[in-house]
Amino acid sequence: MGVLMSRRQTVERVQKVSLAVSAFKDGLREQPSTRRRAEAGTARQGTLEQEVEEGEEEALAGPSQPEESSASKAAWERLRDGRGVEPEEFDRAKRFTPPAFIRPKRELHDDEPLDISLEQREQILNDEMCEICEVWTAESLFPCRICHRVYHDGCLRRMGYLQKDSAMEVTETAHTETGWSCYYCDNLNLLLTEEEMYSLMETLRNCKIIPESCLTQDDFLHYKHQVHKQQFEQTMPKAQEEQATLQFNALDPDKKGHIEWQDFLSHESIQLLQKIRSQNALLRLLTAKERERARTAFLALDQDHDGFIGEGECRQARHTWFRKHQKEMQSCNVSISHVGPISEGSPASSRNGKSPEKILPATKQEETRSIDWPGFLRENVAYILAARPNSAALHLQPLA
Measured distance CA(62)–CA(185) in Å, rounded: 41
Same domain, 212 and 254: yes
Among 209, 234, 261, give the residue marking a domain's end.
261
Among 230, 261, 292, give the residue marking a domain's end.
261
Same domain, 316 and 378: yes
Q: Within 10 Å of residue 362's Cβ, how many Cβ atoms?
A: 16
Is the pTM higher than 0.85? no
Asked, for residue 199, whether it belongs to a domain, the answer is yes
Asked, for residue 112, whether it belongs to a domain, the answer is no
pLDDT (tens digit per residue) in 206-234: 999 998 899 999 999 999 999 999 989 99
Same domain, 148 and 237: no
Asked, for residue 254, whether it belongs to a domain, the answer is yes
Measured distance CA(167)–CA(178) in Å, rounded: 16
Largest interatomic CA distance in the chain: 89
**Please, are residues 320 and 349 in contact by the beta-carbon 8 Å criterion?**
yes
Measured distance CA(204)–CA(268) in Å, rounded: 10
Asked, for residue 15, whether it belongs to a domain, the answer is no
Output the average pLDDT for the chain: 75
Mean pLDDT of 82-87: 58
Give the residue numbers spanning the domain of 292.
277-322+370-399
Measured distance CA(146)–CA(293) in Å, rounded: 10
Exposed, middle or buried by CB within 10 Å (0-12, 13-18, 19+), for 57? exposed
Position 42 scores a pLDDT of 44
Torsion of CA 20, 26, 27, 32, to 10 degrees: -30
Asked, for residue 379, whether it belongs to a domain, the answer is yes
| Neighbouring C-alpha atoms within 13 Å toward the C-beta of 21 | 12
The angle formed by the CA atoms of residues 389, 278 and 149, to the nearest 5 degrees, is 35
Q: What is the CATH number of the domain that holds 165?
A: 3.30.40.10
Could you give phi then psi for residue 216, rounded to 5 degrees?
-80, 175
Cβ neighbours for 178, distance < 8 A, ≥ 6 positions apart: 145, 325, 326, 327, 328, 342, 348
Measured distance CA(133)–CA(378) in Å, rounded: 37
Same domain, 240 and 296: no
Which has the higher per-residue pLDDT, 148 or 60? 148
Cβ neighbours for 298, distance < 8 A, ≥ 6 positions apart: 118, 309, 317, 373, 376
Position 77 scores a pLDDT of 80
Asked, for residue 32, whether it belongs to a domain, the answer is no
Which has the higher per-residue pLDDT, 174 or 304? 304
Domain count, the chain: 3
Same domain, 181 and 202: no
Asked, for residue 198, whether it belongs to a domain, the answer is yes
Same domain, 148 and 166: yes
Among 160, 186, 212, give the residue marking a domain's end.
186
pLDDT (tens digit per residue) in 116-139: 999 988 989 999 899 888 888 766
Same domain, 217 and 257: yes
Distances (CA, A) of 304 to 211, 240, 307, 318: 50, 38, 8, 20
Q: What is the CATH number of the domain that holds 235?
A: 1.10.238
Same domain, 252 and 296: no
Distance of CA 59 to the CA centre of its chain: 35
Position 321 scores a pLDDT of 65
Q: How confident is the model at residue 271 (pLDDT cuts 50, 70, 90)?
A: very high
Mean pLDDT of 372-384: 93
Cβ neighbours for 125, distance < 8 A, ≥ 6 positions apart: 148, 337
Same domain, 130 and 209: no
Position 357 scores a pLDDT of 42
Asked, for residue 104, whether it belongs to a domain, the answer is no
Same domain, 256 and 202: yes
